[in-house]
Each structure stands twice: as structure tokens, then as C-alpha cells.
Structure 1
Amino acid sequence: MKYITFSLLFFLGGCALFKPSLHSQLEPLDMTFVEGGTFVMGDVIEEENDDSLPLHKVTLSDFYIGTFEVTYRQYDAFASATDRELPRDDGRGRGERAVIFVNWYDALEFCKAYGYRLPTEQEWEYAARSGGKEEIYAGTVDPDSLDYVARNKNNSGGYSFLVGTKEPNGLGLYDMSGNVAEYIGEYYPFYKTDPDSIDYYPLEERAMRAIRGGSFNQQDNVLRTYWRVGVLAELENHTIGFRCAVST
């Protein structure tokens, strides 16, 4: 990705003073290109999860999505540049750990600072499933392989971990299942019974947001690529982080 930076020019007494742009103060994000396509969204594995039914086709254009979950190092740079309070870390360290204790609005503003946004739910699921494949977890079709691709309750402590410590999925994306659950750009309360007319409520009319992917302290079912959870947009929790996306 190419970044365009801007400087504000002030003239004081004939001297030109430059104020560093916000973009120049931020830590870079590693973004992965995702070629668009058509896939069947929802519980394609067992067709039993009511929140993820009915199955329905979705067509997406090309986009980019964060290769990793946003880290404390990256968020701290943003918070310092915008005079925001730093999110707490519970004494577990900061650096390359997936950032937590941020709400949906914080996540959105972070992404907007880069000219990005939060991924849509369709983009997130398509990317997690390595481009719409029938993967039960991000990076594997084998339920017994969960520990190789995801931080979860059976192989982790009670806190977020360094990003990228497990194997990536087929697109080279890390921690789409596990480590921290991830805020999504819109909240869709349910899939309508008519699969040709999925009913998505306008974002401004809903107090809820979706999180996807499950976290380090959750069982395997929540880490499935189709699993959907709704939370309040204001929630700041030790299990929830995010990654950014952008259209091409």
C-alpha cells in the first residue's frame, strides 16, 4: 500500500514551520491483498448454527485486510498522536501483543487515521476462510488442527498474546481464529429466512456490533469462521481487539 502524507504549513514572522501529519506519526500496518469473489456465507460445515443461517451467496470486490491484529505498539502510537488515553494492559506488557480494552469507536477511529475502515462481516468471513473455502477454523478444515492455527482456551493463558505466533491461513493472515475476538464494521442481527434478500439493519439504528474469530479464553466452537457474537459498541474487554481493512 502506498501512503500519502500531508503537512500543514504555518507562516509565523516569515518563517515556515511544518506540523507533522498524523499519518507520519503512526506505526505502519502490514496489509494483505484479498482477491474478491463469490462464496457461500454462513455455517457451511454443519448447517446447525441458527445465527449463521440460512446459507447465502455473497460477492465481494478486491480489498486489503490487516495481516495481523492491531498491536499495542501500533495503537499506542495512534493514541499518543491523537491525545487519547492509552488502553490498559493488565501488566502483561504491550509491544507486539494484540491490543485489547478498546471499544468499537476506538477501533474505527484508529483505522480511519490510516484511511482505512473496519472490515465488513462478509469480508472478514471470506478472508478468514482463505478466500471463501469451507474452513471450520481460519487455516484448517481439520477440527483436530485448531491448536496449530489459533490461541484458544486449551493452549493459552488468560490474556492476549503476541500476534502471529500461530500458523497463518491460506491467504497469509494470522489469528483470524483465536488470540483476540475482532470488531466488525457493521452489525447484522440475523440472516433473513429468504437467502436472496438478506436483511441487514442500518448501522446507525443498532447499539450492537459484531465480533468475530473468538479469543484466547474461548472454546473451539466460538473460534469457528462462521460464528457470530453481538456486543455493545462501547464494550472495552480483555478479549476483544480488531484489524483494519480497505477497499482497492
Structure 2
Amino acid sequence: MKYNLKILGIACSAAILASCQTGPTKEQQAAAAIYKDSTMCCAIPPRTFAARMHTEVKVSGTGTGLDGMVYIPAGAFEMGTNEMEAYEQERPSHKVRVDAFWMDKTEVTNRQFKKFVDETGYLTVAERMPDWEELKKMLPPGTPKPSDEELQPGSLVFMAPDHKVGQDDISQWWKWVRGANWQHPEGPRSNLEGRWDHPVVQVSWEDAEAYCKWAGKRLPTEAEWEYAARGGLKSKRYAWGDEFLPSGKYYANTFQGSFPYGNEDLDGFDGTAPVMSFPNNNYGLFDMIGNVWEWTADWYDYNSYKKLNNGTIYSNPKGPAHSFNPDDPYAKERVTKGGSFLCADNYCVNYRPSARRGTSYDSGSSNIGFRCVKDDNSASQTQLASNQ
């Protein structure tokens, strides 16, 4: 499907856009990255190209220690999947071994992120003025500079249509909103009242990295994240077993009904949910599946699993050296995992541990958050891993 493109604010300089020109070039179509496949599942917006000036972060002297973290023992597991019902970038599965580490038992909440901002004065990507010199590096050559009026701070907001719509044009439910940021998730008129224990959203990869640095922690690798999400279960489709609704009980905050306009809220939530609203997995982690997508440290390569040697056991992999997405060749993407409250069975099945997609590192949206990890420096961890 072809799209007519117009730069609408910096809502992607070439992505969620209103019509004003005809016959987009192949480069423009690639930059828009509007396509219905695994990376668009769960109402994932295209990249926002919201390049801003870098903000330095003050590092806390002691961090936040191990408060609110759980211990993840060393071990080996099958990363990815061989299921034919899964998406191409998840296959094939391969054996991975990880050392022990500590992980936040919940996604970072608005309350926790506010403490970080209060102590450091940090401005998130969505709050900064866009830097055109950085922005154009991720756009097709020759892309014209937007007007100063369009180059304003903001972010992507999910707005459910009030009527039945097709699923080919994501601009029907994703909107670029000036003034949308972590404090105002839906725009300037919104706030965090009643949502302090919800996961923080509208945060970019850089924002997540900054928080982790302040807390004396780091973002998990994709391998660590998936290993932790599985909770010690082997070869299970979901983080809790093979059935999505065991005994009719919801184990994750997802979208029930006909996406994007008919959310039936059968799990009790229309948007994000307070952390710990659903059962924890066997490692004591909450919301590894659903609620919000979570940033990881790794670059995203659509074909990375296909490049691995069959039979090799990979120890503590840190992902590819570069990002690659054949549908969006200009993107610089990091891996996000876990699906979100916008995952629906009539649109995607990304609410599984093996599910993975790439998100432009400079993008935030209504359904992306994160959690942190911390290395376990005990002398026994290497021995524990080698015995698995």
C-alpha cells in the first residue's frame, strides 16, 4: 500500500503523516515504515525521528541499591522460537547462557522517574527542541527541513478511533501531539494524577539509559530480558505456560476486542495498569508481558538470529554491532520486548517472551517503558552458569 506523505511536526518527518503530495518515492515509503507485519504489530508507531540535543546526567553516588529488585539465577535457555505461528525475526531458536543478575521486579514507574528528574533536572527527549542536524541523519537524502513551527517538542500518542477502521493506516490511531511527554502522556492537558504507580511512558532509549545510569544500574540485554521473562519455564509459548487464559484468568495487560477501536477491557484496564496488577512470574517479576514494551540494551537486527551458528551456545550475548531493519533502512533501532496494552489477538501476538521488534532509539510513545538490571558480582555466578 502506498501512502501520501507530509511532514507533520516532527511526528516522523516522514511517518505518521497527512496527505499533501502524491507518488512517494521508495525511499520515502521506507522512511515512513508504515507496513503491516511483525514490527507494526501491537499498534507500534513508526519512528518519530525526534532527535534532540544530548543531556548530561548526574550519576548518583550510591544509586538505588537492590531495593525493588529480584535475583535472577544463572542458567541456559532456548532464546527465540521455532514456532511457525511466530514472526520471522524470532526464528530460529538458539541456546544462550547468561550469568546471574538482579532485575527490577516492576517496570519503572512515574513516581520513580519523577524522583530521578527532581534530583538531576533531566529533560527527556520529548521535552527538548529537535536538532535538525541530528534528525536528517536518519532520513532519506534530500528530505526538506520542516519549518520551525513544525520542529517542536512532542511525542506519539495512541488515540483509539470511535468507529470501525481498517488496520492498514496507523495514522488513524497514532497521532503526533505537541507537548506530549512523560509528565503529560496524552498532551499538555493530561497529567499523572492517579497514575503515579503506572509505568512511565513517552521515554526514549536515551531517557531509559539516563535513568539506569543515575540509579547505578543498566538496561538488560535482550538475552537477559527474555531469560528473565520466561521465569525458568522451558519451551512455553507464554511467560506463564502454553495457554493464554489458564482457567480463564488474565496474566497480562493486553487489548481484548477488535483492535484498534473496540477494546472490551476484559482484563480491567483500557490503557496502562498500575505495576503489580497481574500475577508475577516464577522469578518474582511483574508485567514482563503486556502493559508496556520495554527497552533493552541491544541494537535490533531483523535477521540476527539467522546469522547464528546452529548448535553453538552463546554466553551473555550483547546483540549485533549495528541496527538493521529491511523495511526501514535509515532507522537506528534498539530491541524492545514484551508487548503492551495495545497487543490484540486480531492484530498481533507479541505478548510472548520470544517476541521482539525494533524501535528507533530516539522515539517515545504511549506504550513504551523500561526496567533496569544490575550485575551480580558474587564469585559463584560463573560457576552456576557453567553447571547449567
TM-score normalised per structure 1:
0.82
Runs of 5+ unmatched residues, structure 1: 1-20
For the structure 1 residues 157 and 144, does the alpha-carbon distance in structure 2 shift closer, same or farther, using more than 3 Å as the test?
Answer: closer
Going from structure 1 to structure 2, the CA distance change for 1:24 and 1:65 (only over 3 Å counts) comes to closer
Partner residue in 1 for 2:130? none
Question: Which of 101, 104, 108 lines up with 1:66 in the alignment?
Answer: 104
Show the counterpart of 1:89. Answer: 185
Question: Superposition pairs for residues 126-165 of structure 1, below 5 Å?
Answer: 126-131=227-232, 133-145=234-246, 148-154=250-256, 155=267, 157-165=269-277
Structure 2 unaligned blocks of 5 or more: 1-58, 125-181, 257-266, 325-330, 377-388
Residues 44/63 of structure 1: CA separation in 2 closer, same or farther (3 Å cut): farther
Distance 1:100 1:201 in 2: 26
Matches within 5 A, 1:47-126: 48-85=86-123, 87=182, 88-90=184-186, 91=190, 93=193, 94-126=195-227
Please tell me the residue identity of whatever aligns with 2:102.
Answer: Y
Q: SS state of the match for residue 223, structure 1?
A: coil
> How far did residue 26 of structure 1 move?
6.4
**Which residues of 2 match residues 1-248 of structure 1 at below 5 A?**
22=60, 29-43=67-81, 46=84, 48-85=86-123, 87=182, 88-90=184-186, 91=190, 93=193, 94-131=195-232, 133-145=234-246, 148-154=250-256, 155=267, 157-189=269-301, 190-193=304-307, 194-196=309-311, 200-202=319-321, 207-220=332-345, 221-248=349-376
Name the SS for the 2:245 alignment partner. Answer: helix
Match for 1:119: what amino acid? P
Give identity over the alignment, percent: 32
- Cα 1:39–1:28 change in 2 (3 A) is closer
Choose 1 or 2 for highest CA Rg.
Answer: 2
- Give the aligned partner of residue 262 of structure 2: none
Q: CA deviation at 1:188?
A: 3.7
**Structure 2 CA distance for aligned equivalents of residues 140 and 179 of structure 1:** 18
Which amino acid in structure 1 is aligned with residue 252 of structure 2?
A: A
Cα distance change of structure 1 residues 25 and 191 upon mapping to structure 2, 3 Å threshold: closer
Give 1:56 shift: 0.6
For residues 46 and 168 of structure 1, the distance between their equivalents in structure 2, rounded to whole angstroms, comes to: 28
